[in-house]
Amino acid sequence: MTNKIRFFLWLLSIAAIVLVLQKVPVNLGLDLQGGMRLVLEAEDTPTVKVDENAMLGVVSVIRNRVDGLGVSEPLIAIKGKRQVVVELPGIKDPKHALALIGDTALMEFIEAEWLPGNAPNISTQDLQIIGGEGAKLSTYIIRDNNGNITKELPIILKKSVMTGSDLKWAGPSVDQYGKSVVSIEFTPEGARKFADVTARNVGKPLAILLDGNIISAPNISEPILGGKAQISGSFTVQEVQDLVIKLKAGSLPVPVKILEKKEVGPTLGKDSINKSIIAGIIGYILVAIFMILFYRYLGFVAVIALLFYLFLNIAVLNLFHVTLTLPGIAGIILGLGMAVDANILIYARYLEELRSGNTVMNSLENGFKRASVTIIDSNVTTLITAIVLFWFGTGSIKGFAVTLSIGIVLSMITALYLTKFLLFATLNMRAIRESSLIRF
């Protein structure tokens, strides 16, 4: 490959880096842009014990709910046997997210009956006569759009006939009065059940409960055979959207409780970014001074290559949507150090060749050839360590392993190919080749 082609390829690489940096934003982690970190613990119920399948179900439901929130690059991972770690970078309303993620969201459709008169005075015997065995007395509360209670209707809950698992689809909608409602569609089996329930309860209410609370109790005027219905109630637009998310995500297979809740403010994250950038600039300047003082022109070329390495590294991270965290920045800086090491190894071999009487060009060629094996061996062992970290680590440890791995590969490319190209391309100029800046 001629130098012209190499020059064109490196120029193309610079253009691609600039394009990626302009078009693809950086994905910042929880510690850099703020957000919320939760540790949830699953609990046994009399009917369901926490096991691997239950935990996978919990993670799946939480992931679907988080997707409904529109959070980008969330972390949802099982920790131990019954804990789940949830990290939500960039979340703007932590309380809302917390309520949405932690709710069990068990939906039930229960045959019911309105109870006229003074409900608290009804005897247990009368309750069983009216509602049948296991019937419970409850109250359906109707609120206005401001959340104020307008009515409290006593209602007998008879038996559960359907659950949220019978739902196929849910979405926000409005009824003929312009009120926010939830439109639902049942599965074929659910549609059959719903048709039977509505057919034998015409003129009676059908109570819809979410986590034990009555959210709607519409009167059945006629059998509903099409498998589609609406859940109406005293909903705000936000409540409808939250209910849709819960219904789409399904119910948690077991209840969860919050063990740990940590909110990271964006101010702290911005401060961390600023300090990291300052640390990176200072580190780069110190490295540049060291390289130019000790290796003169060769050091200057290495500094140019390191600058290319930094921008290339960030562009690759953006391109693959890698979430950047503080440990991730540490991985980038560590990769920068390894790129410097590679250059120092090459130049040390170059000096040995030069002092043995070889010409500048031969010394440089042999320097790259002899140092390459050592550089590759050193980087491969570090790469293996990074892979192990990624395999067994979680969260920010994985982020560190990813940025370190990418940094290792890119540092070898810039040291062995870009530095070499720049040196051979410029040392063809006699003034530089015979300058004292490369003979020290």
Residue 65 has pLDDT above 80, yes or no: no
Condensed to tens digits (0 to 9), the pLDDT of residues 318-376 reads 888 777 777 778 778 777 887 888 888 888 888 888 888 888 888 888 888 888 888 88
For position 139, what pLDDT does the model report?
Answer: 84
Quote the CA–CA distance of 341 and 415 in Å, as a whole number. Answer: 9
pTM of the model: 0.60
Residue 72 has pLDDT above 70, yes or no: no
Residue 43 has pLDDT above 60, yes or no: yes
Residue 250 has pLDDT above 70, yes or no: no
For position 394, what pLDDT does the model report?
Answer: 67
Q: Are 87 and 37 in contact (CB under 8 A)?
A: yes
Reduced 3-state DSSP string for the chain: CCHHHHHHHHHHHHHHHHHHHHHCCCEECHHHHCEEEEEEEECCCCCCCCCHHHHHHHHHHHHHHHHHHCCCCCEEEEECCCEEEEEEECCCCHHHHHHHHHCCCCEEEEEEEECCCCHHHCCHHHHHHHHCCCCEEEEEEEECCCCCEEEEEEEEEEEEEEEHHHEEEEEEEECCCCCEEEEEEECHHHHHHHHHHHHHCCCCEEEEEECCEEEECCECCCCCCCCEEEECCCCCHHHHHHHHHHHHHCCCCCCEEEEEEEEECHHHHHHHHHHHHHHHHHHHHHHHHHHHHHHHHHHHHHHHHHHHHHHHHHHHHHHCCCEECHHHHHHHHHHHHHHHHHHHHHHHHHHHHHHCCCCHHHHHHHHHHHHHHHHHHHHHHHHHHHHHHHHHCCCHHHHHHHHHHHHHHHHHHHHHHHHHHHHHHHHCCHHHHCCHHHCC
Rounded mean pLDDT of 107-126? 75
Which range of 231-240, 264-273, 393-402, 415-424 scores highest in mean pLDDT? It is 415-424
Quote the CA–CA distance of 404 and 386 in Å, as a whole number. Answer: 7
Quote the CA–CA distance of 214 and 156 in Å, as a whole number. Answer: 12
Condensed to tens digits (0 to 9), the pLDDT of residues 212-247 reads 778 888 888 888 888 888 877 667 777 777 777 777
Rounded mean pLDDT of 252-257? 77
The mean pLDDT value of the chain amounts to: 81
Residue 254 has pLDDT above 70, yes or no: yes
For position 267, what pLDDT does the model report?
Answer: 59
pLDDT band at 150 (very low <50, low <70, confident <90, very high): confident
Rounded mean pLDDT of 159-180? 81
